[in-house]
Amino acid sequence: KSATQLYPGNGDAWLALAEAERLAGDTQAASDAFRAALIVNPQLKRYALHPGWGMVPAPVSLSALLELPGVEALWEALPGAPQRAATP
């Protein structure tokens, strides 16, 4: 079983899955996983806007994940500044 099946409430597991799917080229699966990460842990937006906090795993490219289809509307709906992530 995957980490998201064992721990569906773990935003980091969904975030890692989103990045893995993005790197594998499956943009729809990456988008689905990233949206799940944001729903499970909306604080990801806040952490992304303050990269010095070190709360988002380093190998994850939030800016690349934000380019995925269907993500921007959810991102903008979350509390926090309406700007994009500050990470490369």
The contacts found for 68-75 with CB under 8 angstroms, 24 or more apart, are 68/18, 68/22, 68/27, 68/30, 68/31, 68/34, 69/27, 69/28, 69/31, 70/31, 70/35, 71/31, 71/34, 71/35, 71/38, 74/35, 74/38, 74/39, 75/38, 75/45
pLDDT value of residue 17: 92
Q: Decide: 48 and 74 in contact? Cβ < 8 Å.
A: no
pLDDT at 58 over 60: no
Average pLDDT for 61-75: 89
Whether this prediction's pTM lies above 0.85 is answered by no
Q: How far is CA 63 from CA 29, 58, 69, in A?
A: 17, 12, 13
